[in-house]
Structure 1
Amino acid sequence: MTELQNKALFLDRDGVVNVDHGYVYQSEEFEFIDGIFSTCKKFYDAGYKIIVVTNQSGIGRGYYTEADFLALTQWMKTQFSNHNIEIADVYFCPHHPKKALPEYLKQCDCRKPAPGMLLQGIKEHNIDPKHCIMVGDKLSDMQAAKKAHIATRVLVRSGQSFDENAKQSADLVIDSINDLPAFITL
């Protein structure tokens, strides 16, 4: 068996990488969270792979297509590249168990709080979850990270409030992505 050797900073997209304006699928509507590039650069330079894991039920609901999402994702990755940061991968779940077009209407193992996207990233990138961080803005992000045995679960407020379950499921609650490097030893 191959020895696990990589570490990763897993990021939810909407509310962590970009301001959550609801079902964003065009670059004109995509507003990066202040500090996302400087924070990711610190982790990237410290040897972390940067991996985005995002529920995208807007695809399943028919608000936009997978092609729209992939085009926006390529644009987003280019913006990171312009800041000398490589996004190792972006995993997305287009499904929804109750509100989706027939081909996307299902209970799956990839939609957070299920750990499927994280487990796929761990496997495909030879990552040791004991040396990983998951940053999300919802309880479902923390639950998925726990199920995937991610060592550090960070809940970022991004201007919103949380119930106690979300706070209790996180190892760390921060107000802004800018605060992350202050709490994590790189």
Structure 2
Amino acid sequence: MKKPAVFFDRDGVLNEDSGYVFEIGKLRWIDGAREAVKIANDAGYFVFVVTNQSGVARGLYEETHVEALHKWMADDLAIIGAHIDAFEYCPYHPDAVIERYRQISLRRKPAPGMINDLLERFSVDVGRSILIGDKSTDLEAARAAGIHGCLYSSGNLAQFLRPLLHLHGSKSR
């Protein structure tokens, strides 16, 4: 049986975007972000994170830093009984200083590759799913994958999410 999903962008949605966040000690959750994940979990949604991480391509940090930060985020969410079903990130950038990451990738938003990869791996009800992002590229990726995109700019993320789950969760395909 398919179930809906909430796709969250990371920097600027789940955590404050202070520029190339990769250090655990510097991650600051957005107000209501952890609670938003739990609300989506409790409502029966898959919860995914889809994030461009060009800092890897720019040589600012390594993929191991991204993975360690995601593990820390998962552990911190578990404290309140919340979880992320999958973290997806794209380390590629066409202007990368690290050659192995210098490429155009279908996984880099605004392309829908990360979302499409998750749709292949999980039984997602696309018509009842949403993506929450803070940039037009997030919304473009959602649209390209057939997912409704919602632009988040500020405020309590849990309060932002609640009405969206009610609105989209009641739709059927």
Report the Cα offset of residue 37 of structure 1: 1.6
- Please point out which of 54, 57, 66 is paired with 2:54: 57
Gaps of 5+ in 2: none
Gaps of 5+ in 1: 159-174
State whether residues 57 and 100 of structure 1, in contact with CA within 8 Å, keep that contact through their aligned partners in structure 2.
Answer: no
Report the Cα offset of residue 83 of structure 1: 1.3
Q: 1:183 to 1:132 in 2, by over 3 A?
A: closer
Counterpart of 2:3 in structure 1 is 6
State whether residues 41 and 84 of structure 1, in contact with CA within 8 Å, keep that contact through their aligned partners in structure 2.
Answer: yes
Report the Cα offset of residue 14 of structure 1: 0.1
1: CA distance between counterparts of 2:50 and 2:117? 10
1: CA distance between counterparts of 2:118 and 2:15? 21
State whether residues 7 and 131 of structure 2, in contact with CA within 8 Å, keep that contact through their aligned partners in structure 1.
Answer: yes
Which runs of 4 or more aligned residues in structure 1 lie more than 2 Å from their structure 2 counterparts after TM superposition? none
The percent identity for this pair of structures is 37
Q: Higher relative contact order at CA 8 Å, sep ≥6: structure 1 or structure 2?
A: 2
- Please point out which of 105, 111, 125 is paired with 2:108: 111
TM-score (normalizing by structure 2): 0.91
**CA-atom RMSD, angstroms?**
1.3
Counterpart of 1:184 in structure 2 is 165
Per-residue CA distance 1:38-65 (angstroms, 9 max, x = gap):
2221111010011000000001111001
State the one-letter code of the partner of 1:147: A
Three-state SS of the structure 1 residue aligned to 2:85 is strand
Per-residue CA distance 1:93-144 (angstroms, 9 max, x = gap):
0000123311000001000000000001111112121111100000000000
Q: 1:184 to 1:6 in 2, by over 3 A?
A: closer
Three-state SS of the structure 2 residue aligned to 1:119 is helix
1: CA distance between counterparts of 2:81 and 2:156? 22
2: CA distance between counterparts of 1:111 and 1:90? 14
